[in-house]
Amino acid sequence: MVRKNQYSINLKGYLEGILGTDATRITGLDETSILEIIAVTGMDMAKWPTADHFASWLNLSPSPKVSGGKLLGHQKKFTNNRAARMFRMAAQTMWQHKGTLGALYKRLSSRKGSKKAIKAVARKLAVIFYHVVRNKSAFDANKLNGNNIERQQRRDMARLKKKAAEMGYVLQQVGGTSL
């Protein structure tokens, strides 16, 4: 069934042909959002020396107000950049995603609120997009998951040890060795 604003061409194949890689594999970004991002940024990511420059251009980087070495707050920057809007829209869908970016969104939104979580996840998506398009490499979600799972397990274990010590208990592995 053809919808009202649906393209009648193979957009995924077209994007893969002009970008040299399949950017639709990036979590949260679909063909139409990538097309809109490319319409604003172009395909040459060499305009920005690093991914941080790209995220800053999109106004997705934090901008702390510092005076005398003391953090006074953060400046609010307003932008009408359509590419930044697409990254924010993609980040907003992460609340229902089960992957690493979804976990990041949920963790940040519970601690700092949904607005800051959306901006942080949008920045991460922009950095991923920058590297995928600039290096013409395929997006691998396992690179995001690898260290985070081990690090989360270490954090959970440290939290359990601390809680057990507060209650006067000692944790032991099933083999009988003390943790």
User: Is the model's pLDDT at 175 over the cut of 70?
Assistant: no
Q: What are phi and psi of 68, to 5 degrees?
A: 65, 30
d(CA 122, CA 63): 15
pLDDT of 42-80, one tens digit each? Answer: 888 889 999 999 999 998 887 778 888 888 877 777 778
Q: Give the CA radius of gyration of the chain.
A: 21
pTM of the model: 0.74
- Evaluate whether 20 touches 136 at the Cβ level (below 8 Å): yes
Tell me the average pLDDT across 79-104: 87
Higher model confidence: residue 129 or residue 143?
Answer: 129
Question: For residue 125, is it left (φ>0), alpha (ψ between -120 and 50) or beta?
Answer: alpha
Tokens of 117: 């979580």
Tokens of 78: 């307003």
User: Is the model's pLDDT at 105 over the cut of 60?
Assistant: yes
